[in-house]
Amino acid sequence: MHTNDKRPELSRLEYRLLNDFQRDFPLTSRPFLAIAEELGTDEETILKTLEGLVERKMISRLGPVFRPRRLGASTLAALAVPEDQLETVAAMVSAYPAVNHNYEREHLFNLWFVVTAASEEEIEKVLNDIRDRSRCRLLNLPMEDAYHIDLGFPLWC
């Protein structure tokens, strides 16, 4: 890797975990054992490596993505956050267990996030709390039509 390259250093095992298991994750009672066997290592090493990736903030969560409206409810939302408060508000939004992720966009509504919960009522409670705590304008954009978008992508070598 070049010294001025801003990409993080990844071990071969980290690279394989991040790249090779974005799809077709083993659906067994011990998926990490199956992954370990495929990668020629042990289950404990896989789990410790994944924990390290979380600690380094290379990944934020490891889990399934369910088809919308199959389990519970979800919505896309956005906040109009003053630029000088963006990091603080983003951290506050990320702390909600119902928030999957958030990201900045170049727009008046500059902080976008996805909320999932057991019901529409629970989503409304989370959104109202976020609006009240942030004191920012909130835009709720519930899905009207579903489209499948494959979010997997190959990592660099």
Q: So which residues are the catalytic ones? A: 101
DSSP states along 34-68: HHHHHHTS-HHHHHHHHHHHHHTTS-S-----PPT
Structure tokens at 131: 């609006």
C-alpha dist (Å) from residue 96 to 103, 130, 133, 146, 148 = 14, 9, 12, 25, 26
Short-list 76, 120, 122, CA closest to 97: 122
Structure tokens at 71: 């389990």
